[in-house]
Amino acid sequence: MKNNPLLEHSLNFASKIIKLQKFLLKEKKETIISKQITRSATSIGANINEANYASSKPDFVSKLHISLKECAETEYWLHLLEKTEYIDEKYFNELLNECLSIKKMLISSLNTVKSKI
């Protein structure tokens, strides 16, 4: 994996979400939301990685857009977990801040690429 801060950040975030899923399954016996958030959060980095091998700039933009949509979905699941008290406010804020940081990076990358097309 070449040095890509966005990809590294998304990989670290996905690993935290996988740990969250383990906690939700073991401690809270929650299966539905934990599966959804794991799918969306791990998809962020998977699509960023796929964008690195895009066949064209429009393909690259498309993959980053998918990552952005998955990031927005992950944000929704985090809010739901906090509202339903499956996670506490401190943990929610930590994960949400990471998610929003990735979202900002994706938007910045998309704006940069689009300006060059």
The enclosing domain of 99 has a CATH number of 1.20.1440.60
Tens of pLDDT, residue by residue over 48-58, are 999 999 999 99
Confidence (pLDDT) at 117: 80
Domain containing 50 equals 5-116
Q: What are the respective helix, strand and coil percentages of the chain, to the nearest 5? A: 85, 0, 15
Is the pLDDT assigned to residue 2 strictly greater than 90? no
The mean pLDDT of the chain is 96
Which residues, in sequence order, are CB contacts of 72 under 8 Å at separation 6+?
103
Q: Could you tell me if 101 and 93 are in contact, meaning their C-beta atoms sit under 8 angstroms apart? A: no
Instruction: Report the alpha-carbon distance of residue 5 to residue 16 in Å, rounded.
Output: 17
Instruction: Report the alpha-carbon distance of residue 66 to residue 110 in Å, rounded.
Output: 11
For the whole model, what pTM was predicted? 0.95
Tens of pLDDT, residue by residue over 62-115, are 999 999 999 999 999 999 999 999 999 999 999 999 999 999 999 999 999 999
Number of structural domains, the chain?
1
Continuous segment of H or E residues that includes residue 59 = helix 57-83
Residue 30 φ then ψ, to 5°? -100, 125
Q: What is the mean pLDDT of residues 9-24?
A: 98
Tens of pLDDT, residue by residue over 25-67, are 999 999 999 999 999 999 999 999 999 999 999 999 999 999 9
